[in-house]
């Protein structure tokens, strides 16, 4: 059985070659997944760009309008770190539509992965830190509004704290937000999640994985979740330009195995997004991100979806 994987060519928007965001990774990730034969019948699931109505479920409607009409004020554009062009707006809409589709595919197949997503610094009021729309938050809101899920869990293991997701779901008992990140990293002002684990710099594989394996079983008992979203950011890697946690490539792989196994054993559908990863070496970075898709594919073959219910 193959894991459904979601991709849209617009994930890779036009940016100046000199821009510090590694935009080309989205093209390289998609190419690598295809080359490694991880796609069912060689095909991606292609999302529709998220419409205004979806985006406004998690964001201030005037901010959504500003982005869609390329009229975001300079101050907001600076906080996001992208020029607010049509191309960037389309990319954000497609990545968000992609995470919505990933959520739906996870309900159907037990697990699904996007080749983008995890824009966790985008808050209700506006984007920040290379995040225009909070795709995971929008996906949860769309699925709740459609009546297909009630309770959701967000497992955010990107090296940066999930402040935007925490902001959007503050005071909302239906969504449990968990973020494990480097304490000294961006954002300076963190918004409290339901559970935050702040880690010291240069932690390394062993201590990191030990901490995570203590937390996961408790987390999965918090509620009978209808869906779990996993932000598998690869910036905790020792060679990452913005990371601080000194995880090895093997450590990242073990981390993804730990999360996917724990969530699937608990019987919850799992929707995965790629999160952050920063390097000038695009091929290395893509290879690092595809860890998620490889692990998901391997474990899905071994342990297909949730157990079939016996006929009544």
Check residue 235 for interaction with Zn ion (CB under 5 A).
yes
Alpha-carbon 67 to chain mean position: 21
Check residue 22 for interaction with Zn ion (CB under 5 A).
no
Cβ 246 to Zn ion shortest distance, Å: 15
Cβ 203 to Zn ion shortest distance, Å: 15
Tokens for 116? 């983008």
Nearer to Zn ion, 57 or 159 (CB): 159
Nearer to Zn ion, 86 or 281 (CB): 281
Stretches 166-174, 188-196, 225-233, 256-264: which one binds Zn ion (CB under 5 A)?
Answer: 225-233
**Cα distance between residue 88 and residue 67, in whole Å:** 9
Cβ 233 to Zn ion shortest distance, Å: 5
Tell me the per-residue interface mask from 147 to 186 with Zn ion, x by CB under 5 A, - otherwise: -----------x-x--------------------------
Stretches 147-155, 166-174, 213-221, 272-280: which one binds Zn ion (CB under 5 A)?
Answer: 272-280
CB 99 within 8 A of CB 7: no
Stretches 32-40, 71-79, 216-224, 268-276: which one binds Zn ion (CB under 5 A)?
Answer: 268-276
Nearer to Zn ion, 199 or 299 (CB): 199
Exposure pattern of 246-277 as b/e (b: 16+ CB <10 Å)?
bbebebbbbbbbbbbebbbebebbbbbbbbbb
Strands 270-273 and 227-231: parallel
Q: Please pick, from the candidates 276, 286, 288, 293, the single residue that binds Zn ion as defined by CB under 5 A.
A: 276
- Total interface residues for Zn ion by CB under 5 A: 5
Check residue 233 for interaction with Zn ion (CB under 5 A).
yes
Nearer to Zn ion, 160 or 288 (CB): 160
Determine the residue with CB nearest Zn ion. 276
User: Which residues have a Cβ under 8 Å from the Cβ of 295 and sit 6 or more positions away?
Assistant: 253, 256, 257, 260
Cβ 146 to Zn ion shortest distance, Å: 29
Cβ 187 to Zn ion shortest distance, Å: 10
Cβ 190 to Zn ion shortest distance, Å: 13
Cβ 180 to Zn ion shortest distance, Å: 12
- What kind and span of H or E run contains 105? helix 86-109
Three-class SS of 222-264: CCCCCEEEEECCCCCECCCCCCCCCECHHHHHHHHHHHHHHHH
Stretches 21-29, 51-59, 62-70, 274-282: which one binds Zn ion (CB under 5 A)?
Answer: 274-282
Pick from 253, 249, 264, 247: nearest CA to 302: 264
290 — alpha (psi -120 to 50), left (phi > 0) or beta? alpha
Tell me which residues touch Zn ion (CB under 5 A). 158, 160, 233, 235, 276
């Amino acid at each position: 059985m193959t894991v459904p994987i979601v991709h849209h060519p617009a994930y890779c928007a036009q940016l100046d070659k000199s821009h510090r965001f590694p935009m080309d990774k989205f093209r390289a990730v998609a190419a690598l997944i295809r080359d490694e034969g991880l796609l069912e019948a060689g095909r991606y699931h292609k999302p529709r760009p998220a419409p205004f109505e979806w985006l406004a479920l998690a964001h201030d409607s005037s901010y959504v309008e500003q982005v869609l009409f390329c009229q975001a004020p300079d101050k907001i554009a600076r906080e996001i770190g992208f020029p607010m062009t049509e191309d960037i707006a389309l990319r954000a809409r497609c990545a968000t539509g992609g995470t919505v589709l990933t959520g739906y595919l996870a309900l159907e197949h037990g697990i699904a992965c996007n080749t983008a997503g995890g824009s966790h610094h985008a808050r209700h009021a506006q984007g920040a830190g290379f995040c225009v729309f909070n795709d995971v938050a929008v996906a949860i809101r769309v699925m709740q509004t459609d009546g297909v899920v009630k309770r959701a869990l967000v497992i955010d293991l990107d090296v940066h704290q999930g402040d935007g997701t925490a902001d959007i779901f503050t005071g909302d008992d239906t969504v449990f937000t968990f973020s494990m990140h480097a304490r000294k990293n961006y954002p300076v002002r963190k918004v409290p999640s339901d559970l935050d684990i702040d880690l010291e710099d240069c932690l390394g594989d062993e201590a990191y994985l030990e901490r995570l394996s203590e937390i996961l079983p408790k987390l999965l008992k918090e509620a009978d979740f209808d869906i779990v979203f996993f932000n598998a950011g690869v910036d905790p890697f020792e060679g990452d330009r913005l990371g601080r946690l000194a995880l090895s490539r093997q450590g990242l792989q073990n981390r993804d195995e730990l999360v996917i196994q724990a969530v699937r054993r608990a019987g919850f559908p799992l929707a995965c997004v790629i999160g952050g990863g920063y390097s000038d070496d695009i091929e290395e970075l893509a290879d690092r991100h595809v860890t998620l898709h490889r692990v998901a594919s391997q474990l899905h073959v071994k342990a297909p979806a949730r157990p079939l219910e016996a006929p009544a």
